[in-house]
Structure 1
């Protein structure tokens, strides 16, 4: 057990600050139950912080705030998806905020998922995974999923030049062209918007 504990501790020490990890990330070093016991002990020793059940972080301490820096909810969502082998996509205000199409900072983060419905309370904020039968989210990249869901939440009637330019600033030309290739079979009006975003003709500064 001591050898396993030392190996896990060394791996954690070498992780970047604010890294997220689950028990499964260490099961190559020991049995699941043994790893869980060790991580629980490290939590009590304040080496790591438990964000939610089964998910831990190597927290960064802010001398200015005199407290541990909170992990972004988006990072927790991504790590949970990795832990449970889900494909996820931000939706609603979560997607709009990620692409800077909304200035409202969400207190409720919502993701579509091909996994089961789940809801978490994290540091006073809510993280929700809504199950979808749409298999498209498992075939699109994260960037494509985010843009598709943001446009869907925005609505066709609200797509304009300002929105187009704001979206362009979030992606490279290469990103946009890849998204265009991946999203050929999404809802037609969304694909037309993406084609419009991808049309850099005449934009010398783009």
Structure 2
């Protein structure tokens, strides 16, 4: 009978390098203890790289750069997919994704409808915080990013240039989605979204 370690290894070989794995990906192969032991052995042999507790990488290797590690965002997305949970970027990451900041955050914070927790990855971390049902009911991802980005900037730090950038971004969002999602935002953010909507309608010749 083939060992659990070999069965796990064969399963992993069916995927491209760079894929992230969790112990529950192999739950049909054996007990959770046996799977963890198998993954641990495969890590010690250099077949896998351990990114964090219970998170493993089937590494892609570069001749010069060595192992190509996934970004924190890629790890967060893999966790959300495993947990079948939604995640919403906050803070500097929301600004970065909208092109409002070139700063790449060293630690990520997400709102989620999954379990709250902190995942340590080397010297960095991914934090999942419970999201309010209100923000999770948003219809458009761009609107959610705009709300989170503006929260990060703060009303008192907002300048006209940033407001114009936000309006430009919202110009590509469906009107119905803006109408729905601006009700989920704080009043001052809702007002910015409403102004963007009015200007969008004017540009489109809607009276």
Where on the TM-score scale, by shorter chain, does this alignment land: which range?
A: 0.7 to 0.9
1:136 corresponds to 2:134: yes
Return the offset for 1:155: 3.6
Alignment partner, residue 31 of structure 2: 31
Cα distance in 2 for partners of 1:10, 1:193 equals 54
RMSD of the alignment, in Å?
Answer: 3.1
Cα distance in 2 for partners of 1:192, 1:11 equals 52
Please give the residue correspondences for 1:144-163 in structure 2 after superposition, counting only pairs within 5 Å: 144-156=143-155, 157-158=158-159, 159-163=162-166
Alignment partner, residue 178 of structure 2: 180
Return the offset for 1:118: 2.6
* TM-score calculated relative to the size of structure 1: 0.75
Q: SS at 1:2's partner residue?
A: coil
Q: SS at 2:184's partner residue?
A: coil
Return the offset for 1:130: 3.0
Q: Which runs of 5+ in 2 are unaligned?
A: none
Distance change in 2, residues 1:82/1:182 (3 Å)? farther
Alignment partner, residue 91 of structure 2: 92
Return the offset for 1:3: 6.0
Alignment partner, residue 60 of structure 1: 60
Distance change in 2, residues 1:6/1:130 (3 Å)? same
Query: How many residues are treated as equivalent by the alignment?
Result: 195
Residue by residue, what CA displacement relative to the aligned partner does 1:153-189 show, whole Å, maximum 9, x if unpaired? 2345444223433x369xxx4xx22743652531244
* TM-score calculated relative to the size of structure 2: 0.75
Cα distance in 1 for partners of 2:69, 2:55 equals 14
Return the offset for 1:6: 4.2
Return the offset for 1:9: 2.3
Please give the residue correspondences for 1:104-143 in structure 2 after superposition, counting only pairs within 5 Å: 104-115=103-114, 117-132=116-131, 134-140=132-138, 143=141
Cα distance in 1 for partners of 2:115, 2:13 equals 33
Distance change in 2, residues 1:93/1:5 (3 Å)? same
Cα distance in 1 for partners of 2:60, 2:26 equals 21
Residue by residue, what CA displacement relative to the aligned partner does 1:35-70 show, whole Å, maximum 9, x if unpaired? 2222222212222111111111111112122x2112
Contact 2:138–2:184, Cα closer than 8 Å, also in 1: no
Contact 2:163–2:192, Cα closer than 8 Å, also in 1: no
